Amino acid sequence: MQDVKKVFVIGLDSAPPELLFDKLLDKLPNIKKLLENSIYGPMRSCIPAITIPAWMVMATGKTPGELGLYGFRHRKKGTYNDIWIAHSLMVKEKAVWDYLGEVGKKSILVGVPPSYPPKPIKGHLLSCFITPDASVNYTYPKSLKNEIENLVGEYIFDVVFRKDNRDEVKELLWEMTEKRFEVIRYLIQEKEWDYFQFVEIGLDRVHHAFWKYFDENHHLHEPGNKYKDVIPDYYKLLDKEIGKTLKLLDLDETAVAIVSDHGIKAMKGAFAINQWLIDEELLKIKNPEILESGKQLRFEDLDVDWSKTIAWAWGGYYARIFLNVEGREPNGIIKPEDYNKVREEIAEMVKGIRGPNREKWDTKVFYPEDIYPETKGDKPDMMVYLDNLSWRSAGTLGYDSPYLLENDTGPDDAVHSEYGVFSLYVPGMEESREITSTIYDFAPTILKLFGIEKPLRGRSIL
């Protein structure tokens, strides 16, 4: 490790080991060559296995509970459905680049979630996919924005992927990724850096938008469809861009990591969790006739009878279930002394949910205080992986059945899986070694490359 002077981190949002390290590897010559001299393997994500908070868990070595980030949106304390959206200013813990800045090392960050609004670092920063658009300031320092726009024109942070026009989604994905890599190569050459990390969100978007066309086992797969090669072609695009980028690095002094925040797999369907809570008489509404309207309803459309409601939920890749607790919620009815008993009863009911054909599900229920050493912010009372994330949680309702063949908020074919990827090339490494790591091992490993040790949750793989 004495040869390591720089560390370059390639972040591929939602890259699964089954594709990157196995099924598609022979089509990816640049990544394959890198792996021949790397430590690599599946990397277990955090709970929840969601983009926000996972990238910041990776960077800080802290749990979602310690960060107070349980997903994109969070409930405001003392309210039922008043929310705030995750952003960079809510991250109070030090990240890898903060520790490096303390010893004089310079960093460049591109697209690491959540990094909007841009916060000062010792180095340069472009914010991530939660940036509203290119009209706002999205760089640190501010002057960097002009350099970026002189280079590629309007910078693209993300694409709308839940839409029916898949040709348009594909075209924008390619444009976004090509621009991102052009910017990355510019920064490599024009700025001083010791640590460089970027995250390409396009891989996550291509998975969600095109998975049913690619996966022959997906329940909505159409054999011979015209989009069947979009996902492999996007991986080839990434490999080509990564290959051009690696040529700019001195691999005799630069360590190179490839990481993802979580994996991806086929979505079997969505489960209308609030509809189920009503059926189980845990969620009471004053306007039950609205359920007979035949229309898709949002939770906000319900006239909830909070004086009789025990629980309600949010949709997403995992379900968040909240209990209506006396003294905590405005009209809470569960007495604090009954909280554990009631939560345990509901958890058992949730774990007993079966699939549409009465098949047994592998549903997991997590209590935040059991899996985190600290729970900042407004934690959900239960975090639920329906059939181990194979079924998405639909927060909407008003359906003939709680089992939906498709996502309720727009086309989406894939769900997250628990294992992402981790690989690390270190100068001088002459062979590969396969390992299984956790997302908490990333920060200690990167810091060790710079000779820094901190009391973090994970451990260095070196």
The model's pLDDT over 269-307, given as tens digits with 9 standing for 90+, comes to 999 999 999 999 999 999 999 988 888 999 999 999 999
Domain count, the chain: 2
Q: At what angle do helices 230-246 and 166-190 cross, to 10 degrees?
A: 10
97 and 34 inside one domain: yes
pLDDT, averaged across the chain: 96
Is the pLDDT at 152 greater than 80, yes or no? yes
Is the pLDDT at 1 greater than 70, yes or no? no
444 and 400 inside one domain: no
218 and 324 inside one domain: no
pLDDT on residue 7: 98
273 and 400 inside one domain: yes
Whether 455 is in a domain gets the answer no
**Each residue's pLDDT tens digit, 360-405:** 999 999 999 999 999 999 899 999 999 999 999 999 999 999 999 8
**Each residue's pLDDT tens digit, 25-36:** 999 999 999 999
| pTM of the model as a whole | 0.96
Q: Please count the other Cβ atoms lying within 10 Å of the Cβ belonging to residue 103.
A: 11
Structural domain that includes position 126: 6-264+416-450
95 and 215 inside one domain: yes
Report how far residue 407's alpha carbon sits from residue 306's, in angstroms, rounded to the nearest whole number: 28
Is there a contact between 196 and 11 (Cβ–Cβ < 8 Å)? no
At 60, which CATH number? 3.40.720.10
Whether 399 is in a domain gets the answer yes
- Quick one: how far is CA 384 from the chain centroid? 16
Antiparallel, parallel or unpaired: β 139-140 and 195-200: unpaired
Whether 118 is in a domain gets the answer yes
76 and 43 inside one domain: yes
179 and 256 inside one domain: yes
Whether 462 is in a domain gets the answer no
51 and 65 inside one domain: yes
Whether 354 is in a domain gets the answer yes
153 and 220 inside one domain: yes
Short-list 198, 189, 178, 152, CA closest to 238: 178
Short-list 158, 236, 222, 150, CA closest to 186: 150
Short-list 332, 371, 324, CA closest to 53: 371
> Is residue 77 helix, strand or coil?
coil
pLDDT on residue 3: 79
Whether 460 is in a domain gets the answer no
- Quick one: how far is CA 372 from the chain centroid? 18
334 and 192 inside one domain: no
**Percentage of the chain surpassing pLDDT 70?**
100
391 and 424 inside one domain: no
Is there a contact between 125 and 98 (Cβ–Cβ < 8 Å)? no
pLDDT on residue 425: 97
Rg of the chain in Å (alpha carbons): 23
Report how far residue 165's alpha carbon sits from residue 180's, in angstroms, rounded to the nearest whole number: 23
> Following DSSP, what letter does each residue of 259-309 receive, concatenated?
E-S-EEEE--EEEEHHHHHHHTTSS-BS-GGGGGS-S-B-GGGS-B-TTT-
pLDDT on residue 411: 84
258 and 336 inside one domain: no
Is the pLDDT at 2 greater than 80, yes or no? no
User: Which residue has tokens 């040709």?
Assistant: 167
